[in-house]
Structure 1
Amino acid sequence: MDNVKKSPDSHKKAVSAGLQSLRSVGPNRARLLNNLGINSVEELLYHFPRKYEDRSLLKKICQLRDGENETMFGTVTNVGDIRPRRGMTITKAALYDGEATAYAVWFNQPYIKKQLKTGTKIIVSGKVDLKYGNIQLSVSDFEIIGNEEPVYGAGIVPVYPATEGLPNRTLRSIIKYALDQYMDSVEEFLPPDVLKKYNLLPIGQAIFAMHFPRKLDDVQKARRRLVFEELYVLQTGICMLRGTVFESLGICHKKNGPLTADFMKRLPFKMTQAQERVFQEVSRDMESTKTMNRLIQGDVGSGKTVVAAAALVKTVESGYQGVMMAPTEILAVQHAEGLMELLGPLGVQIALLTGNMGKKEKEGIVQNIREGRIDVVVGTHALIQDEVIFQKLGLAVTDEQHRFGVKQRAKLKEKGQNPDILVMTATPIPRTLALTVYGDLDMSVIDELPPGRSEVKTYWISEAGKQRVYSFIREQVRQGRQVYYVCPLVEESDKIDISAAFELADKLQTDIFQDLKVGLIYGRLKQNEKDNIMKAFKNGNINILVATTVIEVGINVPNATVMVIENADRFGLAQLHQLRGRVGRGTYQSYCILIANPTSAEGKARINIMTRTNDGFLIADEDLKLRGPGEFFGTRQSGMPDLKIADIIRDIKVLKIAREEAEALLLRDPHLVLPENVKLRVKVMAEFRGTENYFTIS
């Protein structure tokens, strides 16, 4: 902190202040900073550089290398604009370093000319281009050296994520001013014993070193502190949400009795060893006095729903009600039908509740739930509406958990007095990401497919090979099989994607498969229309079902053996794996055909991974490496903070240490009410905005 310039009144300034409290930040610059996700001085201080350039060794012009990014110092001897064509301006300045002259070039930035008077001293960085005996730099960054000390001189220069209209040099000046004026107001919130134990920099010193380090080693020390801080706050919040550190009392279910035994006996198949192991883990949790918070991971077709059904039987046998929430109506309907088939013969009363139901029908179901006449209710988000009240909720199950956020899960839990929580996902999650996103849950993995399931064979075909695909589809239909045909993602527009689906279905029916029955299903269809189409497909009345990604989750048609995905390189790996999971659910050999002409390296990598393996966990690891943790689920978990500096792959060791320290702290002070922990609590609450009301749930 020695190199932080302190303002006499800096201790009075609050880092929560608005951006326009900063010198040179008016409404326009504030709006540009907002575009970067920066809305306060504190967020500005935590807007860290994406990289650093070492300009400590300025080059003489004679040392500049063609094609390299170099930095030089010179004095402006001449400056002018060139307009090679309409709509384009090139500003060119001659720079003399005492021995030779080079030319700095800016494209479409005519305002630069006004800043560069003859005699101006300037540091420029850019790519060197040797042409016709002249040395030219296409300027990526520059700083005018006046009478005042430059923001960064010629040392280690921070390069920030920026936006159009807000160049890096301007951003550096704004951040430097914010540091000078507000740094003393940033309060330390990490416990002193943790700082000492891991030899972490104080917060102010770390933030300043991230922005304006004297040497690159300073950045490493600062990053180490800030990564720990970010993961420690994250894990503390997750552990508080989880509430297991409080050891509070939950529901104590009975041991498995006659009803559960009858359920197992009536199953038309024997559970796999993995299913049995996971059900034992679930049973142990449910029979404990501690509230169960368990995540079941299992690849598509591994039989997670059967384990959930067994758990629901167990809660009914213990005198409680159960609930299962699914992200889509198609999946909710399918779960309800499956549970009626499995649990109906046992006398368990099942009901379906969705948002599209008529008012009278919905009111009747809600009343039956409240009065305890329904044992298990299956539904969508409609289940967490205020009017849905359970008489005695014992178990809450959510399927495809990655579609729900922390708040939704907590709200479902509020429907009872500490009911047990079971969540499921067919999106395999790398262990590192699971610790971050699902750190509030214990994890079980069903890592075995039921016997008789053959591996889906996956092929990559170019657009030019479509005729071969059509011939293969016809052969499969001739053998009595059925086909999913997923239309390409056009752009982020439901209307345009639906229009493309209509065109594809019409082309397949009219031009290619006139003698076969082609159906179409998409997300915006009314529920009864979706039901009718799926029933027709299940009954074999539709040979080829054209679909948007509405079929990604849950639909089960064992006779469907071919999954064709057009423009497959536009889909994420997890989504491709989910779509492939719709086939291979019966005893017939199944196939996934990826039609794609990828132009990007990432697109090619995704297709290659899909043809190489069917292992969902391996695919998840590769997906995480390709897309990064921020995009793994498509949308950020509601209520969970973003990671600004930590990388959960690179920083997995720090993540585990942060987890251990957070758990140890909360065992001593579960609600962070001790004076030394109050600042940490404020920080956690700020990062977990929107979930504050759930921190004392246990």
Structure 2
Amino acid sequence: MNNNLLMKSVQSINTVGPRRAASLQRIGIFTVGDLLYHFPRRYEDRTRLSPAGACAQGGIATVRGTVLASQDLKPKPGLVITKLAVHDGSGVFYAVWFNQPFIKKILTPGKNVYITGKVDRSYGATQLAVEDYEVDDGSDSLSAGRLVPIYALTERLNQRQLRVMIKTALTVLNNQINDFLPGEIIEKYHLPRVERALCQAHFPDREKEAAAARKRFIFEELFLFQLVLAVRKRDITRSEKNHRYVPEGNLLRLYQKNLPFQLTGGQRKVWEEISADLDRPRPLHRLLQGDVGAGKTVISTMTMLRAVESGLQAALMAPTEILAEQHYLGLSRDLAAIGVEIGLLTGATRKKERELLLARLANGELKLLVGTHALLQGDVSFQKLGLVVVDEQHRFGVRQRAALGHKGNLPDTLVMTATPIPRTLALTLYGDLDISIIDELPPGRNPVKTYAVLPRALPKALSLIREQVNLGRQAYIVCPLVEESEKIDLQAAVDLSVDLAANDFKDFQVGLLHGRMKSVEKEEIMLRFRRGDIKVLVSTTVIEVGVDIPNATVMIIMDADRFGLAQLHQLRGRVGRSERQSYCILVANPKTDEGRARLRAMTRTSDGFVLAEEDLRLRGPGEFHGTRQSGLPEFKIADLLRDGKILQIAREEAQALAQRDPYFKSSENRALLAEMKARFGEGIDISGA
């Protein structure tokens, strides 16, 4: 929070020395504010104190008593058991610690103490295996007789120490911080003010107060982030672009004429939305969503052609070299007939080739460029960049989108996603964008029949491939490839392709495709697969996006439980791209409930939006999106899956405030602006405010 007291080093608290400060830094706590915003993961109800003898065997109990004596037992090398005899007013029980002999020096005979631990009567006398303790010095207890906060910890830091630090910090506050949330919002949603909320979040009087405090901080996090997005959207909608588009011309007509199909109703609707935005004086800033195979690439290509025939340049940024190459190959194939040249710029582009490409880009000769993050490099200069298309693939955030936009003078921006994104994530990640959804698939496509089978059924799945190939079709066999076991996974794919070529499919051409191959080799393999020379393609996930072979009707995914739902759905989308019946066989023996749930979901539905919601439910927002890559902030207390309703309210309030006071002129909103800059100023451009 943007407050002098809260911005002080955590060492300004008298219970935090250099060693403890170093421990706190390992969990991201550097300031007093960081410490107070390190919220409990949960609470333990220790409001009821009972004599040890009255507590149930195996249960967790909190007992108050007086230390009578102590002893150390050493049953074997490396193990010290410290036992304290404690009288609880009804009788004696034994508190037990393992390898903590220093406890005897802290809890000396005569001291009163609260002990929390697991009750054990296996050896006759009542024992408590200690999980937590606190000396009873007559002051309010932080570990007993109340709802007790339980925190995420790190090495050399225990719950008791952290509670004391936080309690000390709360005492120092003493009505010295001002609330930055507008009073109107606090009253409207019955939110506690910040200082009371901090006290009740850490040391609640009752569960009701804890829930109210958590609601306040959930709203606060989501509201601030939505405000940042609202500010970005405000700047876009109030800015006027310097370029204009001519009416749809010959390039677009020829491109659509050459398409082997008519646009669907969903595609036409989305194209009308995008075209209308292009014709407006304000920059287009839109997210294009659609299920696998819905035809997003056609729409993005039409958008780029509209820029090219208006004398502008267009850039398409993809997250990986493989995907950038696939976009480049696809566009080159589709646009060669109408005379539009495309350039490709990645980290692998050779120096001389790169220099020539950049020169042609700078003088305006090259109109359309496809690339990776390499497009963001300082020496990449466009003569007249009018349109940026970002193939998001969940891996670019607000900052990367903005960085490419800075290459032009307020260019139009179209963001595509490879698979559908759940509504809560779309509102959070893309809250600064308008959203277009292609809500139907091309006609005549049958749903892909999907089966989950155990590895022992693989021969039967291979028979299905043989049957389909004999009918003139083609097939994929996909092997997992993850960074942690890349060498082993790659070798497994190579071995499988060799084995299949020598045995099951010795009568067919079997190809191998993986990301470690040179671009020329990959292009050659894909060309032979497109021509139909290769009948069975063994591949890693490089074929996940952008490969369109209508003749392929079978996909076998090996170790399918190692893939996320979105990835499985994207892979399945490589088949079923014609009117012929297609099949997807998921080969796996999942060992976890989550793995089984993913396979079950895949066999039950082919709706990408349903699967995206299920994937979010199973994995949570951070895992689903890869927090660092996506630009999704690491929320301290909000959960996008659980807190969808609060997110919607926060979004509405943020947009309303940005409309009422777009430049935060009111004295009340200046505090809000300061807080936004303190939290997001380094990561997100809010300079317009």
Structures share fold, TM-score greater than 0.5? yes
| 2-structure distance, mates of 1:589, 1:88 | 66
Instruction: Map residues 188-199 of structure 1 onto 2, 5 A cutoff.
Output: 188-199=179-190
Partner of residue 64 from structure 1, selected from 45, 55, 69: 55
Contact (CA 8 Å) 2:236, 2:282: kept in 1 or not? no
Task: Report how many residues are paired.
Answer: 687
- Stretches of structure 2 lacking an aligned partner (at least 5 in a row): none
Instruction: Map residues 136-535 of structure 1 onto 2, 5 A cutoff.
Output: 136-182=127-173, 186-243=177-234, 246-250=237-241, 251-489=243-481, 492-509=484-501, 513=505, 516-535=508-527
Q: What SS does the corresponding residue of 2:210 show, helix, strand or coil?
A: helix
Distance verdict in 2 for CA 1:513–1:662, change over 3 Å: same
Distance verdict in 2 for CA 1:212–1:331, change over 3 Å: same
Contact (CA 8 Å) 1:88, 1:108: kept in 2 or not? yes
AA in 2 matched with 1:138: A
Contact (CA 8 Å) 1:350, 1:378: kept in 2 or not? yes
Q: What SS does the corresponding residue of 2:301 show, helix, strand or coil?
A: helix
| 1-structure distance, mates of 2:63, 2:541 | 53
| 2-structure distance, mates of 1:535, 1:22 | 66
| 1-structure distance, mates of 2:172, 2:31 | 14
Matched, 1:19 2:10: yes
CA deviation after TM superposition for structure 1 residue 69, in Å = 2.7
CA deviation after TM superposition for structure 1 residue 469, in Å = 3.2
CA deviation after TM superposition for structure 1 residue 397, in Å = 0.7
Distance verdict in 2 for CA 1:531–1:344, change over 3 Å: closer
AA in 2 matched with 1:598: P
AA in 2 matched with 1:531: E
| 1-structure distance, mates of 2:274, 2:144 | 61
Contact (CA 8 Å) 1:245, 1:666: kept in 2 or not? no
CA deviation after TM superposition for structure 1 residue 639, in Å = 4.5
Number of the residue aligned with 2:617: 625
Number of the residue aligned with 1:115: 106
Q: What SS does the corresponding residue of 1:455 show, helix, strand or coil?
A: coil
Distance verdict in 2 for CA 1:111–1:547, change over 3 Å: farther
Matched, 1:653 2:657: no
Q: What SS does the corresponding residue of 2:625 show, helix, strand or coil?
A: coil
| 2-structure distance, mates of 1:69, 1:247 | 60
Q: What are the superposed Cα offsets for residues 187-214 of structure 1, whole Å, 9 maximum, x if unpaired? A: 4222233333333222111111111111
Q: What SS does the corresponding residue of 2:6 show, helix, strand or coil?
A: coil
Deviates more, 1:407-416 or 1:522-531: 522-531
Matched, 1:33 2:24: yes
AA in 2 matched with 1:613: T
Partner of residue 556 from structure 1, selected from 538, 548, 562: 548
Number of the residue aligned with 1:8: none
Distance verdict in 2 for CA 1:617–1:59, change over 3 Å: same
| 2-structure distance, mates of 1:23, 1:476 | 74
Contact (CA 8 Å) 2:62, 2:144: kept in 1 or not? no
What is the TM-score normalised by the length of structure 1? 0.91
Q: What are the superposed Cα offsets for residues 451-506 of structure 1, whole Å, 9 maximum, x if unpaired? A: 23221222212233333334334434444433333334566354454344445445
What is the TM-score normalised by the length of structure 2? 0.92
Q: What SS does the corresponding residue of 2:349 show, helix, strand or coil?
A: coil
- Stretches of structure 1 lacking an aligned partner (at least 5 in a row): 1-10
Distance verdict in 2 for CA 1:13–1:254, change over 3 Å: closer
CA deviation after TM superposition for structure 1 residue 106, in Å = 3.4
Number of the residue aligned with 2:602: 610
CA deviation after TM superposition for structure 1 residue 12, in Å = 10
Contact (CA 8 Å) 1:491, 1:497: kept in 2 or not? no
Q: What SS does the corresponding residue of 1:355 show, helix, strand or coil?
A: coil
Distance verdict in 2 for CA 1:13–1:259, change over 3 Å: closer
Q: What SS does the corresponding residue of 1:388 show, helix, strand or coil?
A: coil
Number of the residue aligned with 1:99: 90
Contact (CA 8 Å) 1:239, 1:440: kept in 2 or not? yes
CA deviation after TM superposition for structure 1 residue 653, in Å = 2.7
Distance verdict in 2 for CA 1:628–1:319, change over 3 Å: same
Contact (CA 8 Å) 2:238, 2:282: kept in 1 or not? yes
| 1-structure distance, mates of 2:534, 2:314 | 35
Identity %: 50
Partner of residue 576 from structure 2, selected from 565, 570, 584: 584
Contact (CA 8 Å) 2:237, 2:282: kept in 1 or not? no
| 1-structure distance, mates of 2:412, 2:334 | 22
Distance verdict in 2 for CA 1:93–1:501, change over 3 Å: farther
| 2-structure distance, mates of 1:455, 1:693 | 43
| 1-structure distance, mates of 2:221, 2:555 | 42
CA deviation after TM superposition for structure 1 residue 344, in Å = 3.3
CA deviation after TM superposition for structure 1 residue 90, in Å = 3.9
| 2-structure distance, mates of 1:456, 1:695 | 49
Distance verdict in 2 for CA 1:14–1:493, change over 3 Å: farther
Contact (CA 8 Å) 1:70, 1:128: kept in 2 or not? yes
Q: CA-atom RMSD, angstroms? A: 2.8
Distance verdict in 2 for CA 1:485–1:69, change over 3 Å: farther
AA in 1 matched with 2:537: L
AA in 1 matched with 2:615: D
Deviates more, 1:604-613 or 1:494-503: 494-503
| 1-structure distance, mates of 2:462, 2:104 | 62
Distance verdict in 2 for CA 1:625–1:539, change over 3 Å: same
Contact (CA 8 Å) 1:240, 1:695: kept in 2 or not? no
Contact (CA 8 Å) 2:51, 2:89: kept in 1 or not? no
Partner of residue 54 from structure 1, selected from 45, 67, 70: 45
CA deviation after TM superposition for structure 1 residue 36, in Å = 1.9
Deviates more, 1:489-498 or 1:55-64: 489-498
